[in-house]
Amino acid sequence: MSEQSGPVEVRDRILETASDLFYRQGVRAVGVDLIIAAAGVAKTSLYRHFRTKDDLIAAFLTREDEDFWAVWDRVAAAHAGNAAAELEAHLAWIGERVGRPRYRGCPQLNVAAEFPDEGHPARVVARAHKLELRRRLRGIAERLAVADPDGLAAQLSVMVNGAFVSAQVLAGDDAPAVLTRMAHALVSACGSPPPRPSPAP
Amino acid sequence: MSEQSGPVEVRDRILETASDLFYRQGVRAVGVDLIIAAAGVAKTSLYRHFRTKDDLIAAFLTREDEDFWAVWDRVAAAHAGNAAAELEAHLAWIGERVGRPRYRGCPQLNVAAEFPDEGHPARVVARAHKLELRRRLRGIAERLAVADPDGLAAQLSVMVNGAFVSAQVLAGDDAPAVLTRMAHALVSACGSPPPRPSPAP
DNA sequence: CCCTCACGATACAGACCTGTCTGTTTGAAT
DNA sequence: ATTCAAACAGACAGGTCTGTATCGTGAGGG
């Protein structure tokens, strides 16, 4: 108990509070005054731990990114060696998340919508997050041994991002079921890889 | 030439200018001062034609909505009677649009990301737009005579909305081709409707 | 024992925001 | 020629925003 109120605790409280407000109300709609009031800290503390508000926004997305992949990794570990089951499990928890009552879309996509400048520090994080999603989906596609893993990864990326923004239009549907059915269709259509080039069979 | 500078012309110029700025820079990032400067009008004129900025935002989305369905209707008319060809044609122009260099996502989804309040006038327009998209996709699905037109419409909605927000991650891909392949897979997997219930065959 | 340093509290600067108000100019129809 | 509505121009009110600067406090470590 040497540092119950050490520098780490305050920084975390600020980031935690800011993340919650940013996600629920939008980044531009939340000012630093609101954040410090909700977190119960002084403005100087916020600016000691985060150089600018833009840095705080980037830290928000980085946090969301880490949390997202933490869940992903946990689910992936539970289905090691079975790519089809792993994909289905991912779509199950993503679909469940999308269907939650207070779900307000993917933070990365929301921030990207709010800030057109691709050089914004938060946009850099968001872009990396989406590329990582596609990279991981491609990994699953490869283990599924389909004909065109890259094409399947692109399709699954579109599907997952679509689920993130379709909460409104999917209201009333069973999101996990929709995603699972879609994935089955896409994987099946992608077929098996062509046989190794060999003398005409 | 009786009203070159009549009331209609000014209103249109404001809405046109605001739409361009809103789309490219984001709604919250664009102030009314910027709009009137770019449109070359007085602030009083803006507030005569639009009660508040929120109303102007809603008008922006309504305009985008109308433009979108105008293109849709034109493409649909060119493939009347052939639902499969119509769907493919829609995905072609949507994919082409998504791949444009300055594409910045679907305005309806962007505004929804910026304004959490579902009661916001612009959110009402956005919601109606997305429901209309699903309704039209369902119409196509029905004419395709698949087993579950509602399910297919849900899947196609997710796909199209996913395309709108996946420009970043689809960079380098041929978006129309990705969408077309996806649609083929989804339609095929949806299969034909079960035969009319009749005495056991 | 004292020194340092993170933290809280608060005032402030300078810019920007939406929306209103006043007053002038234009242009067309009566 | 007079009337009237619309547009322009610009000041203004009242609030919010980010970021800085100042001062006080309290606790841990040399």
Residues 22-61 of B, Cβ under 7 A from nucleic strand C: 30-34, 43-44, 47, 52-54
How high is the pLDDT of residue B168?
A: 80
pLDDT tens digits, one per residue of B147-171: 999 999 999 999 999 999 998 888 8
Residue B195 predicted with pLDDT over 70: no
Rounded Cα distance, B188 and B176, in Å: 18
How high is the pLDDT of residue A8?
A: 72
Rounded Cα distance, A139 and A146, in Å: 11
Rounded Cα distance, B142 and A134, in Å: 32
Portion of chain A with pLDDT greater than 70, in percent: 93
Give the mutation candidate from B165, B174, B180, B188 for the A interface (greatest A CB count, under 10 A): B165
Rounded Cα distance, A82 and A76, in Å: 9
Residues 103-132 of chain B with CB under 8 A from chain A are: 104-105, 109-110, 112-116, 126-127, 130-131
Residue A167 · residue A105 · CB < 8 Å: yes
Q: How far is the CA of B61 from the C1' of D3 (A)?
A: 39
Residue A170 · residue A98 · CB < 8 Å: yes
Cross-chain Cβ contact A185/B186 below 8 Å: yes
Between A86 and A168, the more confident residue is A86
> Any atom of strand D under 7 A from CB of A54?
yes
pLDDT band at A169 (very low <50, low <70, confident <90, very high): confident
Q: What is the mean pLDDT of chain B?
A: 93
Q: What is the pTM of this model?
A: 0.93
How high is the pLDDT of residue A2?
A: 37
How high is the pLDDT of residue B1?
A: 37
Structure tokens at A48: 């000691």
Cross-chain Cβ contact B181/A151 below 8 Å: yes
Residue A200 predicted with pLDDT over 70: no
Task: Provide mean pLDDT across the span A174-192.
Answer: 95
Is residue B136 helix, strand or coil?
helix
Residue A95 predicted with pLDDT over 80: yes
How high is the pLDDT of residue A195?
A: 64
Residue A122 predicted with pLDDT over 80: yes
Using alpha carbons only, give the angle B63, B20, B102 rounded to the nearest 5 degrees.
Answer: 110
pLDDT band at B191 (very low <50, low <70, confident <90, very high): confident
Task: Provide mean pLDDT across the span A172-195.
Answer: 91
Cross-chain Cβ contact A114/B26 below 8 Å: yes
Residues 13-72 of chain A with CB under 8 A from chain B are: 24-26, 28-29
The candidate with the shortest Cα–Cα distance to A54, out of A113, A114, A122, A127, is A122
Residue A165 · residue B109 · CB < 8 Å: yes
How high is the pLDDT of residue B4?
A: 42
How high is the pLDDT of residue A4?
A: 44
pLDDT band at B197 (very low <50, low <70, confident <90, very high): low
pLDDT band at B109 (very low <50, low <70, confident <90, very high): very high
pLDDT tens digits, one per residue of B36-74: 999 999 999 999 999 999 999 999 999 999 999 999 999
Task: Provide mean pLDDT across the span A66-70.
Answer: 98
Shortest CB distance from A158 goes to which of B182, B185, B190? B182
Residue B5 predicted with pLDDT over 50: no
Residue A201 predicted with pLDDT over 80: no
Residues 30-59 of B, Cβ under 7 A from nucleic strand D: 40-45, 48-49
How high is the pLDDT of residue A108?
A: 98
Q: Which ranges of B29-174 would DSSP assign to H, the alpha helix?
A: 32-39, 43-49, 53-78, 83-98, 107-114, 121-143, 149-165, 167-170
Task: Provide mean pLDDT across the span B92-116.
Answer: 97
pLDDT band at A79 (very low <50, low <70, confident <90, very high): very high
pLDDT tens digits, one per residue of A97-118: 999 999 999 999 999 999 999 9
Shortest CB distance from A114 goes to which of B113, B151, B170? B113
